[in-house]
Structure 1
Amino acid sequence: MTSNVRRAAGTQTFSDVLLRWLWIKRPTPAGDLDLFANGVTLKVTCFLRPLGQTGPISRLGTLHLTHGKPVIWQGRGQELTLLPPLALTASAVKTGHWKLTALDLTSPSGSFTLKMPKLDVTLVRHAFDAQAS
């Protein structure tokens, strides 16, 4: 029996990097969208920081994206359900790494800056849009 939870294409572990170096097929952003539409929970690693908070501290965690269910951020014993509507906009915050992007998230649950893999942005936007419908 296979798990109904997968890591998104941009969320890679050390093992995933080794598999890519060995030319073993890796997930793609387009494949992530198909999995999401079929009810698979996709995990996206991201850093979360309340919007406007100064200082370098962001909390590392994971966004859990499942079609038809609320988006949940989990990290180090904390859990935050992000209630719709969820709005993402470009952020002026520097990410510190070329594979990451920063976005500002506004929701009834609060306003945050998210830093996540660029490959996963399309999936996250799609999942947030699905919350609105």
Structure 2
Amino acid sequence: MRGAKALTLLAMLLLIIAGGTVFFHRVEGWSWLDSYFFTVVTLSTVGYGELVPATPMGKIGTTVFILVGLGIFAVAIQQFGAFAVKKREEHTEWLIARLGHRHPNDQEEPEAANDPDTPESGER
């Protein structure tokens, strides 16, 4: 289920980027590259300000694009972040389980590598 959710979010993100690119190319008359660049910069909230919609339809479309696209973009970033954190937790649990497994013949605790050397009582 997690994989399907990630693919759905990725597909929605790609769809909103493609839709924005086509919209700005047609409405503003920008090149495909400029339209794509503006779409990604606007969606990611970076907003360099190099390109600015000049037509009323472009301005209205940009505000709608920001409201819809930013929500999808934020959810996608949050989900991919949550996935990364989950993987990190699973790896940490695996490491703890692996390090916690000792051979049954080991009777005494192994010495930790970071324990400070302390003199025995009576030694100086």
Q: Shorter-chain TM-score category?
A: under 0.3
TM-score when scaled to structure 2? 0.27
Which of the two has greater strand per residue?
Answer: 1
Which of the two has greater helix per residue?
Answer: 2
